[in-house]
């Protein structure tokens, strides 16, 4: 047991519903609490439906914010930073680039150690205008200069911090648990889906995840196989409206909105393939979840996807990012030999479950805290 007072800032909150950062914080926060640490997770009032005082051993602090695209994260982070400083946190752990801007306050005005986890290069996201991108790139510079320790979730992010800033970072990827395999019941009742009759996309509906490319490609494919799009807006309402209009022209495409829990497990369990056409990612949890469910994967060949999937092969098909022709070819290859794809997906499942464990993520994160504090970690 290390007995640290840890403040988690930057996530929308827990229990996690949508959002990879939120799932990351929930899983490591619960395990850090199990190790004997006092973990406070700050939640945004516009994310949590029913504020709680505790969850999975973590203390929850729900603080209001300004619910607009540009102010939501930064205002909440600033208010939470002040609260964490007053509470005497030993470690203030920021998640994502933008929320880390106030990190200089605990870094230079208290004895607390500051850690920041980079889940992706937010300044490159298409939803931001020029001014916001400039501000986020400034925040990225701060993330390489201010924290006592910087963590990234993928190797290509470590390369970026080394090349751009000469900053050594810790690479600690996301984790995953084995997916629960469920028979098709609710998904059949709600959307008429039978096992193996559909491909699946899960994620925020934002340009960098390229669901528009997937919808366009699907609309040009022949056959009866359906496409299920799970997700919703992330301050991208206009983009989502365009996507819905495009999908409305093809009755094989189901716009399911956000789906959680057992229903999402049913969707993973019974899909013919999980498709992730992103042009920009950190290390997507949905990719790990699909692989951990034994679902064949079709993904763009960006570095984080290749880090998880390795080379193109049965059960883990890769295509050239942004290319409709390459995506169409990968989908066709995934459909040619269902038995071979299923076998490849099972091998991928075993590899992902062995290599991406939340227990390891929590222990390695705790080791970063102890190093920043100048302490030795307990042997486990």
pLDDT reported for residue 126: 58
5-175+357-373 and 186-355 share one CATH topology? yes
SS3 state at 275: strand
pLDDT reported for residue 380: 36
Look at residues 228, 340, 312, 215 and name the one whose alpha carbon lies nearest to residue 274: 228
The pairing of strands 54-55 and 58-63 is antiparallel
Which residues of the chain have a pLDDT value below 70? Answer: 1-2, 122-132, 376-380
Q: Give the long-range contacts of residues 162-170, CB within 8 A, separation 24 or more.
A: 165/141, 169/118, 170/364, 170/368
SS3 state at 198: strand
Q: Are 317 and 359 in contact (CB under 8 A)?
A: no
Q: Are 362 and 35 in contact (CB under 8 A)?
A: yes
pLDDT reported for residue 136: 79
pLDDT reported for residue 2: 66
The two three-digit tokens of residue 290, written as one number: 């699909």
Q: Cα–Cα distance between 226 and 194 in angstroms, integer?
A: 10
Q: Which CATH superfamily is domain 186-355 in?
A: Glycogen Phosphorylase B; (3.40.50.2000)
Backbone angles phi, psi at 43, to 5 degrees: -120, 145
The residue to which tokens 């490319």 are assigned: 213
The two three-digit tokens of residue 137, written as one number: 């790139």
pLDDT reported for residue 333: 95
Q: Are 352 and 172 in contact (CB under 8 A)?
A: no
DSSP letter (8 states) at residue 68: S
Backbone angles phi, psi at 338, to 5 degrees: -55, -40
Cβ-proximal residues to 50 (8 Å cutoff; 6+ apart), any chain = none
The residue to which tokens 């889940």 are assigned: 119
Q: Cα–Cα distance between 323 and 301 in angstroms, integer?
A: 10
For residue 327, how far is the Cα from the chain centroid?
22
Distances (CA, A) of 310 to 314, 333, 351: 11, 17, 11
The pairing of strands 149-152 and 170-171 is parallel
Lay out the sheet containing 297-300: strands in order across: 253-257, 226-230, 198-202, 273-276, 297-300, 316-319
- What pLDDT, in 10s, does the model give residues 249-278? 999 999 999 999 999 999 999 999 999 999
DSSP letter (8 states) at residue 102: G
pTM of this structure: 0.91
Q: Are 324 and 213 in contact (CB under 8 A)?
A: yes
DSSP letter (8 states) at residue 377: P
Domain boundaries of the chain, sorted by first residue: 5-175+357-373, 186-355
> 347: part of which helix (H) or strand (E)?
helix 338-355
For 5-175+357-373, CATH number? 3.40.50.2000
The two three-digit tokens of residue 325, written as one number: 């022709």
Q: Cα–Cα distance between 52 and 368 in angstroms, integer?
A: 29
What region does 310 belong to: left with phi over 0, alpha with psi -120 to 50, or beta?
left
> 238: part of which helix (H) or strand (E)?
helix 237-247
**DSSP annotation string for 147-196:** SSEEEESSHHHHHHHHHHH----EE------PPPP--SSHHHHHH---TT
């Amino acid at each position: 047991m290390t007995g640290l007072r840890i403040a988690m800032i930057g996530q929308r909150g827990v229990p996690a519903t949508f959002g990879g950062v939120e799932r990351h914080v929930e899983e490591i926060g619960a395990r850090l609490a199990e190790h004997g640490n006092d973990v406070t997770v700050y939640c945004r009032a516009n994310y949590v439906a029913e504020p709680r005082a505790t969850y999975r051993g973590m203390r929850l602090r729900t603080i209001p914010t300004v619910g607009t695209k540009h102010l939501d994260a930064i205002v909440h982070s600033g208010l939470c930073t002040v609260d964490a400083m007053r509470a005497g946190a030993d470690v203030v752990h920021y998640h994502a680039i933008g929320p880390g801007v106030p990190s200089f306050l605990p870094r230079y005005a208290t004895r607390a150690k500051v850690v920041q986890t980079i889940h992706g290069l937010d300044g490159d996201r298409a939803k931001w205008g020029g001014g916001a991108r400039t501000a986020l790139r400034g925040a990225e510079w701060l993330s390489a200069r201010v924290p006592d320790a910087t963590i990234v979730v993928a190797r290509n992010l470590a390369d970026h911090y080394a090349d751009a800033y000469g900053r050594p970072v810790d690479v600690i990827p996301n984790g995953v648990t084995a997916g629960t395999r469920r028979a098709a019941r609710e998904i059949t009742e709600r959307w008429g889906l039978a096992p193996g009759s559909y491909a699946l996309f899960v994620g925020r509906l934002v340009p960098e995840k390229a669901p528009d490319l997937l919808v366009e490609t699907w609309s040009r494919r022949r056959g009866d196989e359906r496409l299920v799009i799970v997700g919703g807006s992330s301050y991208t309402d206009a983009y989502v409206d365009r996507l819905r209009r495009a999908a409305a022209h093809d009755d094989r495409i189901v716009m399911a909105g956000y789906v959680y829990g057992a229903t999402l497990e049913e969707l993973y369990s019974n899909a013919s393939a999980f498709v992730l056409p992103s042009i920009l990612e950190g290390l997507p949890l949905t990719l790990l979840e699909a692989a951990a469910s034994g679902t064949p994967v079709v993904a763009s060949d960006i570095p984080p996807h290749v880090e998880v999937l390795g080379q193109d092969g049965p059960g883990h098909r890769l295509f050239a990012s942004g290319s409709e022709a390459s995506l169409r070819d990968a989908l066709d290859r995934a459909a040619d030999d269902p038995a071979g794809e299923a076998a490849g997906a099972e091998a991928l499942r075993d590899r992902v479950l062995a290599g991406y464990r939340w227990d390891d993520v929590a222990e390695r994160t705790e080791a970063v805290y102890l190093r920043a504090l100048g302490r030795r970690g307990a042997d486990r």
